[in-house]
Amino acid sequence: MKQKITLMAAICLSLLLYGNNSYSQNSASNHDYIGSVILNAYVPEQAGDMPELARKTLEDKLSLIASLNGVGRGTDMNNFVSPRFIITANIVVISKDITSTAPPMTAYNLEVHLYIGDGFDGKKFAAKTMLVKGIGTNESKAYMDAIKNIKADDPAIQRFVTEGRDKIIDYYNTQCDLIIKEAQVLASRNDYVYALDKLGTVPEDCKACFDKCINASIPIYKKYIDLNCQLYLTNAKAQWAASPDANGAAAAAGILGTINPDASCYKEVKELIDEIAKTMKQYNTREWELKMKIENDRVQFAKEMINIFKEMAVSKTKRKGYNTKGW
């Protein structure tokens, strides 16, 4: 089975490894490699006066609902997904009783409100309310018993998830031009990473918008790698000038290996590589060893870019938190 990743990861891998020309030609036919709508389970602090174990049980239940309905996190590269879309819940205690049995038991009647939405912009796409009951030897166990009675495969919950997914797709398809415009404004301020992040949150299921965002991402990414090319080339030259020996060559190679061959200054990069290789040859260091290191570094850098964007997205979530006000 082909692995799926998000638009951002596809752009990074394709442009870093193969260049934007090959990606432009093949992007329309390579959707099997791109991620679809993914819902991240989120339990807010205000989700009822809930014991910690019950909170974890609820989060696991939300993850199960997403997975069973085709919008959950997968494994491997599917872990690189935008944390933007969430499935969340709020719980209201309708009644709490202590039974007259021996031993006494705690019984809960809970009103569970399920939501699907955009956790960044605070836009709610779907909602569902249901009642569940639970009983246990203490409050925590009674709470968890009630949550376990939320059936992830309930047809009503399936309809709720489908509604949320469809509204996410419709929202991005109808707001696509605005999304692209906002990304282009960010790019005009040299905020290339955040511009790409905005375009990269559009899931592949929003096919019309997804294709537009790929096309809009490529020139922005080209400007991004051009800027980095100049910065990295200057750094590599400084390393080599300061130490024109094996150590300096290794340091420069590590930097040069992160430069995309499609960058506008890559001709100068090749000239520096040839200069270093020629010098190293005088020290009985084979030219191909240096060039092989550079190619290996480039592949490794492409993989690291996936983690860079993933960490950036997660960091943004931790910094800003989720906006579920009014849900």
Crossing angle of the two packed helices 192-200 and 287-320, in degrees rounded to 10: 70
Q: For residue 311, count other CB atoms closer than 10 A to its CB.
A: 10
Distance linking the first and last C-alpha atoms of the chain: 37
Instruction: With beta carbons less than 8 A apart as the criterion, state whether 35 and 204 touch.
Output: yes
Predicted confidence at residue 280, as pLDDT, reads 80
pTM of the model: 0.67
Residues whose CB falls within 8 Å of the CB of residue 70, separated by 6 or more in sequence, listed in order: none
The Cα angle at residue 276 between residues 273 and 279, in degrees rounded to 5? 145
- Distance from C-alpha of 37 to C-alpha of 138, rounded to nearest angstrom: 38
Write a three-state SS string for 257-302: CCCCCCCCCHHHHHHHHHHHHHHHHHCCCCHHHHHHHHHHHHHHHH
Domains of the chain and CATH, by start: 39-175 (3.30.160), 177-318 (no CATH)
Looking at residue 153, its amino acid is D
Q: What is the mean pLDDT of each run of 10 residues along the chain (327 residues)?
A: 43 44 35 60 78 91 93 55 83 94 94 93 94 95 95 95 93 92 94 84 82 89 92 96 89 86 91 87 62 61 58 58 84
